[in-house]
Structure 1
């Protein structure tokens, strides 16, 4: 049986150590427990330790898993970190407090329309394809400036930061450094970067949100 409470304690300690080593306030790093594929009971165990920020990859899974948990724990927050289809925009805006995978103008329009329809305005992170991988979503680094302006001025979206997923076989540090530079250039405070295997490196480069799943909940089946 996975020791979720013990794992959370270890991850929190590692985050604190990494932040202090980087000269940062540990409170400037938000730990997002990525609960995709894990059951609601595991999420409840994490909540019992004080973990209140969770990330999910799929709208449908979050809609099934979280309503009862959110009713019982109104202060918890839920972020979408997986790809979003435009036909799920209304559901996503209704379900999540933030969306980390804004990656194209068509989705900007869909989210703008969904926010107008629902009256909800979840924060948005623009996903950047720092590795220029053809199979991966995200704006190319050279397009980030224009994408941010487009999202803010034409669609009035609440853009608060950038997100990236470095190539699996690459040193993540240059990708995190690039994302931080792009965020600074565009006056964006949020940096969603770093997962179970590299979140300490991400913190050294300024991550404000680290997305940690297996290091908390155990290996996925």
Structure 2
């Protein structure tokens, strides 16, 4: 596959859903990808990337950002509270706000840094005990608490269960966002991003379909 084919599919899905071209932001998920693959996507002109690990991102993105103006970096993996300061300094958006302890650390980091990344609250739409994210019925209370701290989330994020149809989870996330007046919907990955676009995704997270399969053994 590759970047151009994914962009073509995104545009076709936007059109099929009656949405404006460019309504969906394509986040190229570059975690655990060889530098050469990421550099090829950068050379092709793409500027929006996602990473799962703060330490990995720290090791490669400051240099790439310096050489490629306009790069926007999204944190899409679970964020440890003790990494909040580093994340605020590096990422333009954080998609995985899911607990008060992290919210408090982000407030302190934003105050110290002077700028705030775009924030998404992660929802555990499948009520999976092994997965991060707050439960849907906890959202209203959580938003009230983090807004009282001064945080201003722009949207919601979910990762549906691996088995089964993702569409009901996308619809649930959209309903939750609408009920709370949140415009952003971070949902959809390589296998289901077209369904996510049909359900209103504003951000999709696509990795292997752009870069190729990941080789985790190379990370040692």
TM class, shorter-length: over 0.9
Aligned equivalents of 1:57, 1:211: Cα separation in 2? 11
TM-score by length of 1: 0.95
Aligned residues: 215
- Shift, 1:26, TM fit: 2.4
Q: 145, 151, 161: which one pairs with 2:146?
A: 151
RMSD: 0.9
Equivalent position of 2:59 in the other structure: 64
- Shift, 1:74, TM fit: 2.2
TM-score by length of 2: 0.96
- Asked whether the equivalents of residues 42 and 217 of structure 1 are also in contact (C-alpha less than 8 Å), the reply is yes
Aligned equivalents of 1:96, 1:155: Cα separation in 2? 20
Structure 2 gaps of 5+ residues are 216-220
- Asked whether the equivalents of residues 122 and 158 of structure 1 are also in contact (C-alpha less than 8 Å), the reply is no
Task: Determine helix, strand or coil for the equivalent of 1:136.
Answer: coil
- Asked whether the equivalents of residues 33 and 55 of structure 1 are also in contact (C-alpha less than 8 Å), the reply is yes
Matched, 1:27 2:16: no
Aligned equivalents of 2:142, 2:13: Cα separation in 1? 31
Off by >6 Å, runs of 4+ in structure 1: none
- Asked whether the equivalents of residues 57 and 83 of structure 1 are also in contact (C-alpha less than 8 Å), the reply is yes
Aligned equivalents of 1:27, 1:97: Cα separation in 2? 19
Mean Cα displacement is larger for which, 43-52 or 54-63? 43-52
Mean Cα displacement is larger for which, 176-185 or 139-148? 139-148
Q: 102, 108, 113: which one pairs with 2:97?
A: 102
